[in-house]
Structure 1
């Protein structure tokens, strides 16, 4: 390529990348969802960027990307920019291609990782980045993707990253309609407080008890799961301790405090599976639960707060949970055969 053509090529590249965001919509970039606006919202040119526009309450938007705290949105086929998740009316979301897109606000996770030795979840994909939480050998993590040697996951309401050199095992998530039993069909990790005050230690016990009770279930094709019924009752007799529970926007002590996080982590796993249909779910309230992105929680514990789903797959499924070092990971497996040996490790 001669200098004249090279200069022209570089000018064209600079012109394309400097176009306004709404003009840079790729032909291959299609919206994932449509929804109505719950409140008036500011639109930004990037996450934590400059305000460039606004969109009004009741307006219809298209959602092109779901991030932990933000949404990439557009209107009439043109990308407008980024807005905070809480301004969208979650109850009006329509998935445009359910066969390939998780139910909103689900985010597809592609890998299940086991930690080797000691490592940390980092705030950015750099070795010297801020450490969000420290993990030890055997801890399991669900990863969205692997990029430049770092596994990407969701830590509360931001992305977190883990050095893949610290992986002892890595299983791809099998997202086919006829998965084998040597790989999970969905997985999700949420993170919990590891402080040693009594109420929080009790909460961690409750996380473990609820995961143990989930692991006893095998949900046949056409069968249903009722979290309150199958994982509860949340009583001392069933091993649950008194810990903080969220009630009416406030906090109080109650047996089974913390089981909402197990239900919420399961909910985010179910959102990735078109064959497990959620039939009942209620959030904690407008602000949601702080350990998950906005709108991604599921409250349980009484007749009006529960998580229910039905298995529409032609095979049974089972659920496994692990609780270690502040990481709660829920994994769904196909269950009509021998249990993979890796599960006991």
Structure 2
């Protein structure tokens, strides 16, 4: 074989190898090659069950789409009604991963979701002592006999009862009671204003805020705002009262500085108004 023929054969071999390499590169990057990858549908998310990164991305997308936080039971103070709790959902990543890996290519599986109950549920408020909770603070003050005063205490106590304060949240007594007007059911009663005892709508609700204040301090919760009366009151020693006057922006506010929820129970019985705080 002469040198010219050997050279042509060598060039032909090189061109053949280059052609085959380019063909493999193009086919690997083509849409057909991508479509050829095995896929599994999880909800509305497609995932390659043989690729860990693809699975992790799919799990993250599923968590964003399906997970939701539970909503604890709470109170509508305007209507004095309980708003029921709503359970949440969380993605069971391990079980969902197993479904993906074990699924046949082209098939569809459902994500595994776990129901997460609310930290405080309506059932916890159904009794005087919430199930699973313990008394962490309690205080009582003696009730008056004046009808308007007593009626205002009863209304404020009913509104306060079954309040739920989540960790890190605050409770405003003025938000609980609202403006003390006749439309809201309040009556004229004796109250302290400008260093004098005068008749005012809502007179007497300060006894409930005071009772709450002392229960809060007994429980070791954080007092955010508190104001003393301009005159001594009969139901607690000096320095133990908590005056509220919404028209002047005077409020009693406390913060739940615990890691678990606090449930407030308030009731009138046996000649006293009693506020009890329950926690875990």
Q: Tell me the TM-score normalized by structure 2.
A: 0.50
CA apart distance, 1:255: 1.2
Contact 1:262–1:328 (CA under 8 A) maintained in structure 2: yes
**Map of 1:265 onto structure 2:** 211
Asked if the contact 1:288–1:296 (Cα under 8 Å) also holds between the matched residues in 2, the reply is no
* Counterpart residue number, 2:135: 184
Aligned to 1:289: 233
Q: Tell me, which stretches of 5 or more residues in structure 2 are unaligned?
A: 1-130
**Deviation of the 1:325 alpha carbon:** 4.0
Please name the residue that 1:220 is paired with: 166
Q: Which has the larger radius of gyration?
A: 2
What does residue 327 of structure 1 align with?
A: 272
Aligned to 1:272, the other structure's residue is in SS state helix
Q: CA RMSD for the aligned pairs?
A: 2.0
| Residue 193 (structure 1) shift | 2.0
Matching residue of 2:191 = 245
Secondary structure of 2:219's aligned partner: coil
Q: Secondary structure at the match of 1:300?
A: coil
Unaligned runs of 5+ in 1: 1-179, 195-199, 336-345
Determine which structure has the larger strand proportion and give its number: 1
2:147 is aligned with 1:201: yes
Secondary structure of 2:242 counterpart: coil
Relative contact order: is structure 1 or structure 2 higher (C-alpha 8 Å, sep ≥ 6)?
2
1:144-180 deviations in Å (ceiling 9; x for gaps):
xxxxxxxxxxxxxxxxxxxxxxxxxxxxxxxxxxxx8
Determine the structure 2 residue equivalent to 1:98: none
Alignment match of 1:300 (pick from 233, 239, 244): 244
1:142-157 equivalences under 5 Å are: none
Tell me if the contact between 1:235 and 1:256 (Cα under 8 Å) persists in the aligned partners. Answer: yes
- Matches for 1:1-345 after TM superposition, within 5 Å: 181-194=132-145, 200-274=146-220, 276-285=221-230, 287-302=231-246, 303-334=248-279
> How far apart are the structure 1 equivalents of 2:270 and 2:203?
18
Quote the Cα distance in structure 2 between the aligned partners of 1:314 and 1:300: 28
How many Å separate the matches in 2 of 1:224 and 1:206?
23
Q: Which whole-Å CA distance do the structure 1 matches of 2:176 and 2:151 have between them?
A: 18
Instruction: Give the length in aligned residue pairs.
Output: 150
